[in-house]
């Protein structure tokens, strides 16, 4: 993928998403709230003086000999807001893709799968020099322009010591910005490694948990966590210099120590569990993607899992899911 030109990358992504996922996610999403519309949502008994006669469901009335009326879902357009983490830590990668390229792939998947008549896509790009906003618009041209911007964004490559910005925007700032612009109920997708401000104490909540929870109250939220295998395990390659891309701090580490590698793996596992627990408390969907795995297959598995949850909810009497992520054709 890294050998392809930017235009070729976009064509490759679009072709892959369309071929791998078309048929699993067809159809339009349901409205978030019931109301006047054309989507049939079921039938109920007729209430004299409250219901209009033109909404009579004659088929159900004939079968039950009791007057019934149709219930419908409101026809609503889906507005999707993306928060894309483009901080220096997202430029790291040791597999076929780096975290930046996998982020672009996730954005492409969300964009193509939520595209539809009247649907709109907006984005907030969390870059080292500040937040960059892309207004919510519809159409393929808007989506392709967003992807080109992500692909062509200059790479920082890590800061030298004492040269990092004093107060670069973090994930908390980005989530607050999305909350200000996402005024209509819809879908919010956060693509990040979720390492910003993660406290050393596993019991302490990360600083981005509160704004993410506020978003999940009003919107359906999908958290796409991007990781690289070297963030989970440290290879035995002798003496290496580790650099924090966010601050420029450096530390030499002897990776030949098996106890050191074991402690590293344990700390990484605890860190990932800490992130998963925080996302679960927020009520957000969690889609982990890795640079060394087939991201299309991971997205398909996530969609199937969400569909099964929706079917179980409907079978248990909870009714069909109303959010865009679990309804017909939803993205998550």
How far is the C-alpha of 233 from the C-alpha of 3, rounded, in Å? 27
Q: Which residues contact 164 (CB under 8 A, 6 or more apart)?
A: 246, 247, 248
Quick one: pLDDT band at residue 225, thresholds 50, 70, 90? very high
Residue 325 clears pLDDT 50, i.e. is over it? no
Considering the domain boundaries, does residue 21 fall inside one?
Answer: yes
Strands 187-192 and 220-227: parallel
Read off the DSSP letter of residue 154. P
Residue 36 clears pLDDT 90, i.e. is over it? no
- Residue 60: phi and psi, rounded to 5, are -70, -35
Residue 188 clears pLDDT 80, i.e. is over it? yes
How far is the C-alpha of 209 from the C-alpha of 176, rounded, in Å? 11
Whether residues 81 and 212 fall in one domain: yes
Whether residues 49 and 192 fall in one domain: no
Residue 1 clears pLDDT 70, i.e. is over it? no
Total Cβ atoms within 10 A of residue 155: 11
Whether residues 183 and 47 fall in one domain: no
- The parent domain of residue 160 ranges over 6-27+77-235+261-315
Residue 129 vs residues 113, 248, 298: alpha-carbon distances, Å? 30, 16, 32
| Domain-terminating residue out of 17, 47, 73 | 73
Considering the domain boundaries, does residue 205 fall inside one?
Answer: yes
Task: Give 273-301 pLDDT, tens digit per residue.
Answer: 999 999 999 999 999 999 999 888 898 88
Considering the domain boundaries, does residue 327 fall inside one?
Answer: no
What pLDDT score does 16 carry?
62
Mean per-residue pLDDT, 28-40: 45
What pLDDT score does 305 carry?
81
Whether residues 281 and 302 fall in one domain: yes
Mean per-residue pLDDT, 144-158: 79
What pLDDT score does 193 carry?
92
Tokens (6 digits) for 26 = 């067809």
Mean per-residue pLDDT, 167-194: 89
Whether residues 93 and 231 fall in one domain: yes
Mean per-residue pLDDT, 236-255: 84
Whether residues 49 and 90 fall in one domain: no
Considering the domain boundaries, does residue 248 fall inside one?
Answer: no
Whether residues 104 and 19 fall in one domain: yes
Mean per-residue pLDDT, 326-332: 38
Contact 246/253 with Cβ under 8 angstroms?
no
Quick one: pLDDT band at residue 53, thresholds 50, 70, 90? confident
Mean per-residue pLDDT, 15-19: 59
Q: How many domains does the chain have?
A: 2
Quick one: pLDDT band at residue 26, thresholds 50, 70, 90? very low
Whether residues 300 and 225 fall in one domain: yes
Whether residues 134 and 41 fall in one domain: no
Whether residues 221 and 153 fall in one domain: yes
Task: Give 155-180 pLDDT, tens digit per residue.
Answer: 766 555 555 555 677 899 999 999 99
Considering the domain boundaries, does residue 60 fall inside one?
Answer: yes
Considering the domain boundaries, does residue 44 fall inside one?
Answer: yes
Mean residue pLDDT across the chain: 79
Mean per-residue pLDDT, 98-120: 86
Read off the DSSP letter of residue 127. E
Torsion of CA 276, 279, 280, 282, to 10 degrees: 160
What pLDDT score does 206 carry?
94
In degrees, to the nearest 5, what angle opens at C-alpha 153 toward C-alphas 92 and 89? 25
How far is the C-alpha of 83 from the C-alpha of 122, rounded, in Å? 9
Whether residues 52 and 167 fall in one domain: no
Beta bridge partners of 45: 68
Residue 256 clears pLDDT 60, i.e. is over it? yes
What pLDDT score does 311 carry?
72
Whether residues 150 and 190 fall in one domain: yes
Mean per-residue pLDDT, 172-192: 92
For residue 13, the domain's CATH number is: 3.40.50.410
């Amino acid at each position: 993928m890294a050998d392809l030109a930017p235009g070729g990358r976009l064509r490759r992504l679009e072709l892959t998403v369309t071929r791998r996922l078309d048929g699993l996610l067809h159809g339009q999403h349901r409205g978030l709230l019931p109301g006047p519309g054309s989507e049939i949502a079921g039938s109920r008994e007729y209430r004299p003086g409250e219901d209009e006669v033109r909404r009579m469901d004659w088929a159900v009335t004939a079968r039950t000999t009791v007057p019934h009326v149709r219930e419908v879902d409101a026809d609503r357009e889906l507005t999707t807001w993306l928060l894309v983490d483009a901080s220096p830590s997202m430029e790291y990668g040791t597999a076929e893709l780096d975290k930046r390229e996998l982020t672009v792939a996730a954005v492409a998947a969300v964009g193509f799968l939520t595209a539809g008549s009247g649907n709109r896509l907006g984005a907030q790009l969390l870059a080292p020099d500040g937040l960059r906003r892309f207004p919510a618009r519809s159409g393929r041209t808007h989506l392709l322009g967003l992807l080109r911007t992500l692909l062509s964004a200059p790479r920082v490559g890590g800061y030298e010591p004492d040269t990092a910005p004093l107060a670069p925007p973090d994930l908390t700032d980005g989530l607050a910005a999305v909350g200000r612009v996402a005024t209509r109920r819809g879908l919010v997708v956060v693509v990040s490694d979720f390492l910003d401000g993660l406290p050393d104490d596993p019991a302490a909540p990360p600083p981005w948990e509160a704004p993410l929870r506020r978003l999940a109250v009003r919107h359906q939220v999908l958290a796409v966590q991007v990781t690289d295998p070297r963030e989970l395990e440290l290879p035995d390659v002798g003496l290496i210099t580790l650099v924090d891309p966010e601050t420029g701090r450096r530390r030499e580490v002897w990776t030949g120590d098996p106890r050191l590698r074991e402690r590293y793996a344990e700390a990484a596992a605890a860190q990932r569990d800490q992130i998963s627990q925080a996302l679960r408390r927020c009520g957000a969907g969690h889609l982990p993607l890795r640079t060394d795995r087939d991201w299309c297959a991971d997205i398909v598995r996530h969609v199937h899992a969400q569909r099964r949850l929706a079917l179980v909810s409907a079978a248990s009497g909870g009714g069909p899911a109303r959010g865009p992520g679990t309804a017909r054709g939803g993205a998550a």
